[in-house]
Amino acid sequence: MDKTINGESVNDIYLGLCNICDYGQNIDLLNAYEKTIFITQELENEVNNGGFFQFFDNSSGQFAYKIVQAFSIIGAVKTAEICAKAVGAFKHKLPTDWEERRALLDKIEDEGVASILEACDNAFYECEEDLESLNAEYIRNNIEHFNFSILDI
């Protein structure tokens, strides 16, 4: 499956979206289609770099309750299931505010969340869904909804 869109990689498009929305700080500058790609790439980058805990602990954690839907939209059913388990590991609703979320994360180490997130990390790393291809296909199928020129990235 072709992983490029007009010669650009999914990561290049993600970086273009990062520039538009200031790495998620102004997420409302993106439409629903762009947000889907931004959120899936945020999760994938964070988990591949430091696991689900890193995703929740960083600013990307503000999108915790959107990751399942985003992966479902692109057709990554197994990844959506893994994300649902990761989000479900928390007994408390995770705040979207970064400082509040980090304070909560500091307090929950004793609740067994770390072991659940570690299992989710392992499942994510072993998952055979080709997220890059799924994102590329989603972008190609919805290119008219992307509000920037792919060639200007």
- The DSSP letter of residue 110 is G
Please give the pLDDT value at position 112. 82
Q: Is the dihedral of CA 137, 139, 16, 56 positive or negative?
A: negative
CA distance 15 to 22: 10
Question: What pLDDT does residue 118 have?
Answer: 95
Instruction: Please work out, in degrees rounded to the nearest 5, the angle formed at the alpha carbon of residue 52 by the alpha carbons of 84 and 77.
Output: 35
Average pLDDT of 76-87?
98
66: which residues sit within 8 A by CB, 6+ positions away?
35, 39
**pLDDT average, residue stretch 100-111:** 80
What is the pLDDT at residue 92?
A: 79
Domains and CATH numbers, the chain: 8-152 (1.20.1420)
Prediction pTM value: 0.92
Long-range contacts of 88-95 (CB under 8 A, 24+ apart): 89/113, 89/116, 89/117, 89/120, 94/56, 94/61, 94/64, 94/65
**Number of CB atoms found within 10 A of residue 42's CB:** 25
Whole-number mean pLDDT of the chain? 91
